[in-house]
Amino acid sequence: MAFTRGRTFSLSLPPFTRWVKRLILIYAGIYLLMALLEIMAPEAHYWVRIYFGLIPVQVVHGMIWQLISYSFLHFGLLHLLFNALALWMFGSQLESDWGTQRFLEFYFFCTVAAAVTTVAVSYAHLPGVTPLTTTIGASGGIYGLLVAFGMVYGESEIMMFPLPFMIKAKYFVWGIVFLTLVGAIQETGGIANFAHLGGLLFGYLYLKFMPRRGLAFSASERYFSMRNEYYRWRRRRAARKFEVYMRKHDRDVHFDEHGNYIPPDDDARKGNGGSKSGWVN
């Protein structure tokens, strides 16, 4: 995990990284498509929202793709612009330092975790919260990026463009957490802030307890370790069976504990005084 001190990050014109740019283009393209559907085919627009937005009662009845698909839809242009701007400002730096694979793993881990939190909270019988409420938007993953930025670059300063002052990243993130928590407590018309809190919480847990090189790398290392152990077991087993077979044919062969063939001692195979060389002086 990269951690830097004394660096200044400006929120004005950060660089675009490969998958940050792709995600923003995908979000913008889907938003444009949904806007066209709303004008030209309102019924299709409605059904897309129903089938791909996050509706807890549908998720628990098998529509689990909504745990991801909801993040590609947005309520309005400002909603899209806020998420795209935050993804650009905070995601680009994380993708540059972590690499594409870990960045995407973390981002979608937070996205799914925020959706699961939303589903769980919807069944908690809180005021104004029901399993029929639709949640859309990439904010769960975005808030995960926010907490990651605050943890990784906590001592670095952020220039709040266009406001003329600097603030440490950790204080900026804690301010976001506070506002989200207050919003979740006071909210009576939806459950979006609980999704934000889910992204924040699980983003923190991921960075605190997950392997430094990511879940996918750790899982692949575990898989190859188990596969290699299986092949070693098969080799040892084949060696033992071959030893038994050769003994039945009056031949004595030996393998070590790893299944490697042990050639017989040269002295035992040599005659004429046990000479180790075929040359005679």
pLDDT 10s digits, 168-192? 888 888 887 787 777 666 654 455 6
Residue 28 belongs to some domain of the structure: yes
pLDDT at 108: 95
Predicted model pTM: 0.71
Residue scoring higher pLDDT (44 or 245): 44
Note whether 186 and 263 are same-domain residues: no
Residue 199 domain flag = yes
Say if 281 falls within a structural domain: no
Same domain, residue pair 255 and 200: no
At 43, the amino acid letter reads: E
Contact 56, 122 (CB under 8 A): yes
Burial status of residue 39 (CB atoms within 10 A of its CB: 0-12, 13-18, 19 or more): exposed
The DSSP H or E segment spanning 69 is helix 66-69
159: containing domain: 8-210
193 and 110, same domain (yes or no) = yes
Domain annotation covers residue 84: yes
pLDDT tens, position by position, 109-142? 999 999 999 999 888 877 667 888 889 999 899 9
97 forms bridges with which residues in the sheet?
none
Beta strands in the chain, from DSSP E residues, in sequence order: 8-10, 157-159, 166-168, 254-255, 261-262
What's the total number of domains in the chain? 2
Q: Which of 191, 210, 229 is the last residue of a domain?
A: 210
Say yes or no: 202 and 71 in one domain. yes
Same domain assignment for residues 37 and 114: yes
Question: Residue 129 belongs to a domain with what CATH number?
Answer: 1.20.1540.10
Predicted local confidence at residue 267, as pLDDT: 39
Largest CA distance in the chain: 103
Whether the CB-CB separation of 67 and 59 falls below 8 Å is answered with: yes
pLDDT at 162: 62
Among candidate residues 190, 210, 230, the one where a domain is terminated:
210
Token couple for 273: 């005084």
Nearest to 258 by CA among 222, 220, 229, 232: 232
Looking at the structure, do residues 75 and 176 belong to the same domain, yes or no?
A: yes
Q: Answer yes or no: do 206 and 247 share one domain.
A: no
What does the mean pLDDT of the chain come to? 79
Q: Look up residue 93 and give its two tokens.
A: 């730096």
**Whether residue 178 is found in the same domain as residue 104:** yes
Least-confidence region, from 49-58, 98-107, 266-275:
266-275
Give a yes or no: residue 45 inside a domain: yes
Mean pLDDT lowest among 15-19, 26-30, 148-152, 221-225 = 221-225
* Percent of the residues in the chain that have a pLDDT greater than 90, as a whole number: 36
- Is residue 280 domain-resident? no
Tell me, what's the pLDDT at 75?
A: 87
Cis amide leading into 264 (omega within 30):
no
Q: How confident is the model at residue 198 (pLDDT cuts 50, 70, 90)?
A: confident
**Residue 224 pLDDT level (bands cut at 50, 70, 90):** low
pLDDT for the residue 113: 94
Same domain, 184 and 241: no
Asked whether 106 and 34 are in contact (CB, 8 A), the reply is: no
The tokens for 199 are: 């992204």
Residue 277 counted as domain residue: no
Q: Look at residue 257 and give its three-state secondary structure.
A: coil
Q: What pLDDT is attached to residue 61?
A: 94
C-alpha–C-alpha distance, residues 249 and 136, integer Å: 73
192 & 253 share domain: no
Residue 45 has pLDDT above 80, yes or no: yes
Q: How sure is the predictor about 235, in pLDDT bands with cuts at 50, 70 and 90?
A: confident
pLDDT of residue 196: 80
Percent residues over pLDDT 70 in the chain: 74
Q: Check whether 194 has a pLDDT greater than 50.
A: yes
151 and 260, same domain (yes or no): no
Q: How far is CA 110 from CA 6, 114, 116, 140, 271, in A?
A: 28, 6, 10, 6, 73
Same domain, 91 and 125: yes
d(CA 247, CA 265): 18
Task: Tell which of 182, 210, 238 closes a domain.
Answer: 210
